């Protein structure tokens, strides 16, 4: 579906955004392997999280959905059962990489499949450590479909992450839950730490690196999860409020986990007026309300160590940068090429259409110059974050820009358009 965006002059009001995607996936997974009834409040029910829910239903877990709250009746340590069908991961990299860790420890075979985009995304990054754990796992050309067979001798490992990936880290830690001996993941880059927090894992900081320990001692129990709203989803509205005149919005109950708040730090360094209030910690995760007011932005250098923290927000930060003073540059972000689309390519190809000057690097890009063409049709490249970033840009440019295949926003935020319309003045 092609969607056209009219100019938005100003936004005002309060938004209650859906639950955090990373935490929702993990809450469903941990509840499904725990023994007994868990409740998940404010769970994101987008296509990605539904892929996780459906996979666990196929694995024999009863899961009821009522509005945004779900009840999961977990069957405990050996409670998953062999699925009748292949498990379809849809577009969801997080479901695939995390569930593989759990499935590697089961005594039945599973086959994971995905949509076209997911089937071309790298999976070797989890195959390598899982094979070191003696998991019986194979994917042709290191891509989906992935076949996971029972392992005779799953064993714990110490694994130094070769790349900044919370999905790879979580995959190994989840497999480690099924072993008596400690599995240790060593991380030299700070990536999102929801898995560690939600399982209460032992974490030891050692200079610039972190050691995270997992074992059967941390196997989850049935519990209640209160999921904060997603900071990645909120970033689109933050940038819209900052870039439009006389705007002020409040975003309620946003996840403020410090491994995710780099987007706020960068926007504030650029001159953004963003304040937080009602900050509290529930289920080990910080959350609070954010108040965002129109601001003049100036581009800043983005430090390499912050890149994993802002990896999902780089598309919308780029849009903020285009309207800020100076040029926008991102480097050390080659991982962008492995996301739902090759985001370096998606962003550069779309921005070229506006007549901006683009220098594309292997690991980022430099954007400068002025917008020359204002009535442009953008390609979403089937990537939800590209679609929403260019929706915000189109609403600011306001010359009838449109986005092809806009429906892909359902992957993380099916109600994006309603939320947008509710704050337009």
Nearer to ligand S3P, 311 or 356 (CB): 311
Least distance between ligand S3P and beta carbon 325 (Å): 29
Least distance between ligand S3P and beta carbon 307 (Å): 10
Is residue 343 a contact residue for ligand S3P (CB under 6 A)? no
Which class for 343: exposed (0-12), middle (13-18), buried (19 or more C-beta within 10 A)? Answer: buried
Least distance between ligand S3P and beta carbon 397 (Å): 27
- Catalytic choice (48, 115, 230, 312): 312
Token pair of 88 as six digits: 């379809």
Least distance between ligand S3P and beta carbon 94 (Å): 4
Is residue 170 a contact residue for ligand S3P (CB under 6 A)? yes
Please tell me the distance from the alpha carbon of residue 288 to that of residue 243, in angstroms, as a whole number. Answer: 22
In the region spanning residues 49 to 78, those forming contacts with ligand S3P, defined by CB under 6 A, are none
* Residue among 130, 192, 240, 330 that touches ligand S3P (CB under 6 A): 192
In the region spanning residues 313 to 342, those forming contacts with ligand S3P, defined by CB under 6 A, are 335
Burial 194-221 (b: 16+ CB within 10 A, else e): bbbbbbebeeeeeeeebbbbbbeebbbe
Is residue 312 a contact residue for ligand S3P (CB under 6 A)? yes
* Residue among 11, 59, 112, 166 that touches ligand S3P (CB under 6 A): 166
Nearer to ligand S3P, 170 or 253 (CB): 170
Is residue 311 a contact residue for ligand S3P (CB under 6 A)? yes
Contact 314, 333 (CB under 8 A): yes
Is residue 165 a contact residue for ligand S3P (CB under 6 A)? yes
Nearer to ligand S3P, 165 or 350 (CB): 165
The dihedral sign for the CA sequence 231, 163, 103, 196: negative
First and final C-alpha spacing in the chain: 26
Least distance between ligand S3P and beta carbon 417 (Å): 21
* Residue among 11, 22, 336, 344 that touches ligand S3P (CB under 6 A): 22
Nearer to ligand S3P, 94 or 106 (CB): 94
Is residue 92 a contact residue for ligand S3P (CB under 6 A)? no
Contact 228, 254 (CB under 8 A): yes
Least distance between ligand S3P and beta carbon 236 (Å): 15
Token pair of 297 as six digits: 């932005």
Please tell me the distance from the alpha carbon of residue 345 to that of residue 341, in angstroms, as a whole number. Answer: 8
Least distance between ligand S3P and beta carbon 424 (Å): 28
Helix (H) or strand (E) holding 22: helix 21-33
358 beta partners? 367
Is residue 167 a contact residue for ligand S3P (CB under 6 A)? yes
Quickly list DSSP for 248-267: EEEEEEEE--TTTTHHHHHH
Is residue 287 a contact residue for ligand S3P (CB under 6 A)? no
Q: What is the DSSP letter of 216?
A: G
What three-state secondary structure class fits 350? helix
Please tell me the distance from the alpha carbon of residue 2 to that of residue 394, in angstroms, as a whole number. Answer: 13
For ligand S3P, which stretch binds (CB under 6 A), given 10-18, 161-169, 267-275, 353-361?
161-169
Least distance between ligand S3P and beta carbon 122 (Å): 9
Nearest-CB residue for ligand S3P: 22
Please tell me the distance from the alpha carbon of residue 121 to that of residue 337, in angstroms, as a whole number. Answer: 9
Is residue 229 a contact residue for ligand S3P (CB under 6 A)? no
What three-state secondary structure class fits 223? coil
Is residue 117 a contact residue for ligand S3P (CB under 6 A)? no
* Residue among 31, 42, 52, 94 that touches ligand S3P (CB under 6 A): 94
* Residue 312 known to be catalytic: yes
Nearer to ligand S3P, 106 or 165 (CB): 165
Nearer to ligand S3P, 34 or 198 (CB): 198
User: Could you tell me which of 107, 178, 174, 100 has the C-alpha nearest to residue 137?
Assistant: 100
Pairing of strands 377-379, 402-404: parallel
- Give the strands of the sheet with 110-113, arranged side by side: 87-88, 110-113, 146-149, 136-139
Please tell me the distance from the alpha carbon of residue 202 to that of residue 185, in angstroms, as a whole number. Answer: 11
Is residue 193 a contact residue for ligand S3P (CB under 6 A)? no
Contacts of 141 (CB under 8 A, 6+ apart): none
Nearer to ligand S3P, 89 or 243 (CB): 89
Which positions lie near ligand S3P, rule CB under 6 A? Answer: 22, 94, 165-167, 170, 192, 311-312, 335
Tell me the catalytic residues: 312
């Amino acid at each position: 579906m092609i969607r056209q965006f009219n100019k938005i002059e100003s936004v005002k009001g309060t938004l209650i955004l859906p639950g955090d995607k990373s935490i929702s996936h993990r809450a469903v997974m941990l509840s499904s392997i725990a023994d007994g009834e868990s409740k998940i409040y404010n769970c994101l029910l987008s296509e990605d999280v539904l892929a996780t829910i459906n996979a666990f239903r196929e694995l024999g877990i009863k899961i009821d959905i009522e509005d945004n709250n779900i009840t999961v009746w977990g069957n405990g340590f050996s409670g998953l059962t062999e699925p009748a069908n292949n498990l379809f991961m849809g577009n969801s990299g997080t479901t695939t990489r995390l569930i593989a860790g759990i499935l590697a420890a089961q005594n039945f075979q599973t086959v994971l499949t995905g949509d076209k985009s997911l089937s071309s995304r790298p999976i070797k990054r989890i195959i390598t450590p899982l094979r070191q754990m003696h998991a019986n796992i194979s994917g042709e050309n290191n891509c989906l479909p992935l076949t996971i067979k029972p392992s005779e001798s799953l064993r714990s490992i110490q694994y130094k992450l070769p790349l900044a990936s919370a999905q790879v880290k979580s995959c190994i830690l989840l497999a480690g839950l099924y072993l008596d001996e400690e599995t240790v993941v060593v991380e030299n880059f700070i990536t999102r730490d929801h898995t560690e927090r939600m399982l209460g894992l032992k974490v030891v900081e050692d200079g610039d690196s972190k050691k995270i320990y997992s074992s059967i001692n941390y196997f989850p129990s049935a519990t209640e999860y209160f999921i904060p709203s997603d900071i990645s989803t909120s970033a689109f509205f933050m940038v819209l409020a900052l870039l439009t005149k006389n705007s002020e919005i409040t975003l309620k109950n946003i996840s403020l986990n410090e491994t995710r708040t780099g987007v706020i730090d960068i926007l504030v360094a650029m001159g953004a007026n963003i304040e937080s209030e009602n900050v509290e910690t529930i289920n080990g995760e910080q959350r609070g309300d954010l108040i965002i007011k129109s601001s003049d932005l100036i581009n800043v250098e983005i430090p390499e160590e912050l890149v994993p923290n802002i990896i999902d927000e780089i598309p919308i930060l780029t849009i903020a940068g285009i309207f800020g003073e100076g040029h926008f540059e991102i480097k050390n972000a080659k991982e962008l090429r492995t996301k739902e689309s090759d985001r370096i390519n998606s962003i550069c190809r779309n921005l070229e259409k506006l007549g901006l000057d683009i220098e594309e690097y292997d690991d980022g890009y430099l954007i400068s110059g002025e917008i020359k063409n204002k009535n442009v049709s953008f390609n979403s490249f089937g990537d939800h974050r590209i679609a929403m970033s260019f929706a915000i840009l189109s609403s600011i440019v306001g010359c009838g820009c449109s986005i092809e295949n806009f429906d892909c926003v359902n992957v993380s935020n099916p109600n994006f358009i309603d939320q947008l319309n509710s704050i337009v003045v």
